Amino acid sequence: MSDEHSDLGFLRKYVFSTDHKTIGIQYGITALVFLFFGFSLMMMMRWQLAYPGSAIPIIGGLLPDTLVDRGAMLPDFYNQLGAMHGTIMVFMGIVPLAVGAFGNYVVPLQIGAPDMAFPRLNMMSYQAFVIGGIVMLASFFLPGGAASSGWTSYAPLAVTATTGQTFWLIGMIFLIASSLLGALNFIVTILHIRAEGLTFFRLPFFVWSQLVTAFLLLLAFPPLQAAAIFQLMDRLAGTSFFLPSGLVVGGEQIVAAGGGSPLLWQHLFWFLAHPEVYVLILPGMGIIAEVIANNTRKPLWGYRPMVYSLLVLGFLSFGVWAHHMYMTGMGTTMSTFFQITTMIISIPSVIILTCLVISLWGASIRFSVAMLFALAFLPMFGIGGLTGLPLGLAAPDAHLHDTYYVIGHFHYVVAPGTIFAMFAGIYYWYPKATGRTLNVTLGKVHFWLSFIFMNGVFMPMMFEGMAGVSRRLFDPTIYDHGAAVHGLTVMTSWSAWCLAAAQIPFIINFFWSMRKTERAEENPWQATTLEWATPTPPPHGNFTETPVVYRGPYEYSVPGADRDFSPQYVKQEA
């Protein structure tokens, strides 16, 4: 079955592969590189915030004097870094890692499929992602630098910005195309190519999360594409979709007909970007559910309510976008509507989180590295979710809007939230992909340091936000209330640099473990789901014999069984 494939040349096998596992690994490596790059941008910003106006050590001397003045960062460079940090992390880091990498690698295995429904489309999706990424990175080398209008690219600022913004838009169009192709592929694969006996309520929660995510991507991204097309037209063809009449920039009337609406961009953008938040978190929740079920050695508590919550989340996420826009001057009718939907959407998240916590009751908890990350996810995501509460209500938002509180809030959701889930997934599935287990000691060092410093980075932000410090400020100490919390800023910066150092054990572990001679067992975690029914690493076509599914995904510690796990694919436990 796999013999033909092994005859393929290097290019076909590793670069232009149509095998979902190869594509998954390509996505994973690329996304991890982008994540680290995006993180590095932020570390430079942290220097400016902690020590405003002083030269950045080492790197400062290497940068051209359009970006730095005697090694110290200039404000437009800071804005470029801010915009690109957000864009890279969200669109080129987490989404490709959560959906492109884990989705591609794990979903077909977990549903007993030989590959994705459209392998070639899958390859094209990755290629579009790479092209988009290259366009984005190339923009740093433009004369005016990269996009500098924030990852939200609000018009009219973005329309009047330098060429970097055009690259940003073109890059986004590629990234969107990539996501659309991927999402379509996932839906068809999950709906059509499940193994015999794998009914919907026998699907692992991770597959459910990927299915809902794919629908979100499929339906939420096109409006952003429309918005990007409009903004490109504004920038290149001189239209004024987002420019009202009579704009005066730099004391001069700008040359545009006018008649557009700056708020139109925000509506189109947030119509995507709120579901996008769920795109970032749902695959993470899926991984956490897998890891928790496996390491508690018992079925997930409340699997069905969790699935229903997931569906409700996906559905409602299209109706909350304007809670990002309370401060644009919308009327109270509209803000009331969006406050209510925002409160409603918090309920399913509460349900999922509660189910995961209650799953610990009556368990026999194995503290593997993956499990540590999964356990840390729960309170961290909890903080992220809870701090969303004051932001979802218009009146407290009047104080907290666009402050560091917002930054703290969504970073708690995506950094110690999703990224911890990604780490859990890497520690959990690494043996599947490589046939080796990651070193446990290095893993635990990685976990504890990451856990401490993650909180060291994001907890101070909550207090800075409370004090009223606005985000995206090149130098917050200009304001009295910013100067008062400068100590917290310094703490955040040092935590961020330590957090970077804490990733070194992981990187060493990742490459060193791959070369270990000692092979992992076929099913090292004694897991029940289908991916462990394949040889390790799985060959082209995945399964040596067509799998048949006999039971639900998390049949652990079944009374009367001779082992504490009953795999989905084994017909009869003695």
Partner 1 sequence: MRLFLVLISLFFLAAASGAEDKPWNPALGTAKVTGSVKFEGKAPRMRRIDMAGADAKCAEMHGGERQKPETVIINENGTLRNVFVWVKTGAEGWKFPMPEGDALLDQKGCMYTPHVQGMRQGQSLSVKTSDPTAHNVHGFGKKNRSFNRSQPAGASNVAIRMRRDEASPPMKVKCDIHPWMNSFVAVVPHPYFAVTGPDGSFELPNLPPGTYTIEAWHEKYDVMEQTVTIGDGETQTLEFTYPTKS
Partner 2 sequence: MSVVIPYQVEPHPVTGVTSGKLGIWLFLASEVMLFGALFSSYVLLRVGAAVENWPTGVEAGLNVPIGTANTLVLITSSITMVMAWASLKMDNLAAFRRYFGTTIALGLVFLVVKAFEYSDKFGHHIFPATGWPEAGDPSVFYGLYFTLTGLHALHVILGILVNLWLLFFGVALWKTDKERLTGRIEIAGLYWHFVDLVWIFLFPTLYLL
Partner 3 sequence: MNEPEYGWWLPPNVSVQGDDIDTMINVIHWFMLALFVGWGAFMVFCLVRFRERPGHVAVYKPIKAGFSKWLEVGVAVAEAVILAFFAMPVWAKIKNDFPTQDNPVVIRVVAEQFKWLFHYPGQDGKFGRTGVEFYADDNPAGLDFDDEDGFDDITVRGLHFPVGRPVIARLTAKDVIHSFKMPVMRITQDLIPGMEIPIWFEAKSTGKFQVGCAQLCGLGHYEMKADLIIESPEDYQRWLDEEHAALGLDDY
Q: Which residues lie near partner 2 (CB under 8 A)?
A: 1-5, 18, 113-119, 121, 180, 183-185, 187-188, 191-193, 218-223, 225-227, 229-230, 233, 237-241, 245, 256-261, 264, 267-268, 271, 540-541
Amino acid at 345: I
The Cα 519–Cα 562 span in angstroms is: 26
Taking the C-alpha atoms of residue 314 and residue 317, their distance in angstroms, rounded to an integer, is: 5
Minimum separation from the CB atom of position 240 to partner 2 (A): 6
Q: Residue 86 CB, nearest distance to partner 2 (Å)?
A: 22
Residues numbered 381-420 forming contacts with partner 3, rule: CB under 8 A: 382-383, 386-387, 389-390, 393-403
The DSSP 8-state label assigned to residue 525 in this structure reads T
Rounded to whole angstroms, how far apart are CA atoms 397 and 395? 5
The residue assigned the tokens 């430079």 is 44
In the bound state with partner 2, the residue whose beta carbon lies nearer, of 58 and 237, is 237
CB of 45 to partner 2, least distance (A): 33
d(CA 547, CA 536): 16
CB of 224 to partner 2, least distance (A): 8
3-class DSSP assignment, residue 141: helix
Q: How far is the CB of 328 from partner 2 (least distance, A)?
A: 14
Q: Is 518 exposed, middle or buried (0-12, 13-18, 19+ CB in 10 A)?
A: exposed
Q: Which does 70 bind (CB under 5 to 8 A by kind): partner 1, partner 3, partner 2, none?
A: partner 1
- CB 86 to partner 3: min, Å: 11
Cα(3)–Cα(539) distance, integer angstroms: 9
Which one of partner 1, partner 2, partner 3, none interacts with residue 163, CB within 5 to 8 A by kind?
A: none
Residue 120 vs 399, nearer CB to partner 3: 399
Nearest to 233 by CA among 170, 174, 179: 170
From the list partner 1, partner 2, partner 3, none, partner contacted by residue 8 (C-beta under 5 to 8 A by kind):
none
Q: Is 403 helix (H, G, I), strand (E, B) or coil?
A: strand
Query: Pick from partner 1, partner 3, partner 2, none: which does 480 bind, CB < 5 to 8 A by kind?
Result: partner 3
What lies within 8 Å, CB to CB, of 12 at 6+ separation is none
CA distance 124 to 135: 16
Contact flag: residue 468 with partner 3 (CB under 8 A)? yes
Name the phi and psi angles at 548, rounded to 5. Answer: -125, 140
Q: Pattern 336-365, binding to partner 3, x per CB under 8 A?
A: x--xx--x--xx--xx-xxx-xx-xxxxxx
Q: Minimal distance in Å, beta carbon 75 to partner 2?
A: 31
Specify the DSSP class assigned to residue 417.
Answer: I
248 binds, among partner 1, partner 2, partner 3, none (CB under 5 to 8 A by kind): partner 3
In this structure, what token pair is assigned to residue 39? Answer: 């993180």
Work out whether 248 is an interface residue with partner 3 (CB under 8 A): yes
Rounded to an integer, what distance in angstroms lies between the CA atom of residue 434 and that of residue 427? 11
- Identify residue 454 by its one-letter amino acid code: M
Choose the one of partner 3, partner 2, partner 1, none that binds residue 230, judging by a C-beta under 5 to 8 angstroms depending on kind.
Answer: partner 2
CB 417 within 8 A of CB 342: no
The item of partner 1, partner 2, partner 3, none sharing an interface with residue 299, based on CB under 5 to 8 Å by kind, is partner 3
Residue number, 19 or 555, with CB nearest to partner 3? 555
| Stretch 127-166 residues interacting with partner 3 (CB under 8 A) | 148-150, 154, 156-157, 160
Minimum distance between the CB of residue 550 and partner 2, rounded to whole angstroms? 19
